[in-house]
Chains A and B, each alone.
Chain A
Amino acid sequence: MAEGVKRLQTPLGRVRGLGSARSGTHHWWMQRVTSIALIPLTLWFALAAIGLAGAGYEASVAFVANPVNAVLLLLLAGVTLHHLASGLQVVIEDYVRAEGVRLAAIWGVKAACLVLALFAAVAVLRVAV
């Protein structure tokens, strides 16, 4: 073991345990994966939103009821809310110092994003199925 190293755990053991954050690069990596997924989804949604400008109830129901649109909306809502939760988490970690408040804020944001994703999914499925 290198001189001056004060831990008995080997570097390999630390890496296998995913380091001091216990999650390795998972959070950073998932932010990248969701951003790449959101590029085509955002372009599709922009075109869809333009097409729905001024659309009435019947036309909007018909749009969401289309299976392709329903699947893309479910993907958009799920990936967006995952991306939003992890992004807001980083903002909270940067600016909220007190440990308890920070934990409560992060859990609150994640819970809210999960609830919003479920609302979006149930709404899309109720119209489409």
Chain B
Amino acid sequence: MSNDSREALMVGRRSDGSIVRRPLSPHLQAYDMLQMSSLLSILHRASGVALTAGVLLLVWWLVALASGPAAFAAVQWFLGSFLGLVVLFGVTVAGWYHTLAGIRHLAWDAGYGFRIPEMYRSGRMVVVGTAVLTLLTWVFAIIAWVS
């Protein structure tokens, strides 16, 4: 038997005196976290937390711009580095996902889109929309960069 005190309440004895572990309700291990409804919900929270990085970059960029050319060159160097580009790409994906999934949540708050087929359709629209907007953002950003 486990030493976990929480399991003490779940331990019983058979009529012959031998110990038996009573069954528990299904919990996370029995719950499919990769179904669209829960996965998109988890990703909405995760993308929101991840966007903290984007906020920090924006504040750094603004403060550097106000501080002068040397500080600005440092932030531009980071944003153009491999790590900086990876972070910027992640912020782009998280930003568009959080925006689109947020609009989906606002529609739910207003009482729309609760039927299961609608829920799956709006979920697919959020995923496809995130991919399309991320691609468009980077295509236009690279065009602006080289021109």
| Interface residues in chain A, defined as those with a beta carbon under 8 Å from any beta carbon in chain B | 32, 35-36, 38-39, 42, 46, 49-54, 57, 60-61, 64, 73, 77, 80-81, 84, 87-88, 91, 116, 119-120, 122-124, 126-127
| Interface residues in chain B, defined as those with a beta carbon under 8 Å from any beta carbon in chain A | 45, 48-49, 51-52, 55-56, 58-59, 62-63, 65-66, 69, 72-73, 95, 99, 102-103, 105-106, 109, 137, 140-142, 144-146
Q: B49 — which chain A residues lie within 8 A by C-beta?
A: 87-88, 91
Q: Enumerate 16 A-B pairs (CB-CB under 8 Å) in ascending A order.
A: A38-B99, A50-B140, A52-B144, A53-B142, A53-B145, A57-B72, A57-B73, A60-B65, A77-B59, A84-B51, A84-B52, A91-B48, A119-B59, A119-B62, A126-B66, A127-B62
Q: A91 — which chain B residues lie within 8 A by C-beta?
A: 45, 48-49
Q: A80 — which chain B residues lie within 8 A by C-beta?
A: 55
Cα–Cα, bound, A81→B72 (Å) = 22
Name the 8 nearest CB pairs between A and B, nearest first: A54-B145, A123-B66, A123-B62, A53-B141, A126-B66, A53-B145, A53-B144, A123-B63
Contact A57 B145 (CB under 8 A): no
Cα–Cα, bound, A36→B73 (Å) = 34
Q: B55 — which chain A residues lie within 8 A by C-beta?
A: 80-81, 84, 116
Contact B51 A49 (CB under 8 A): no
Q: A64 — which chain B residues lie within 8 A by C-beta?
A: 62, 65
Cα–Cα, bound, A116→B58 (Å) = 10
Residue of B nearest to A122 (CB): B66
Contact A120 B58 (CB under 8 A): yes
Shortest distance between the CB of B88 and any CB in chain A (Å): 9
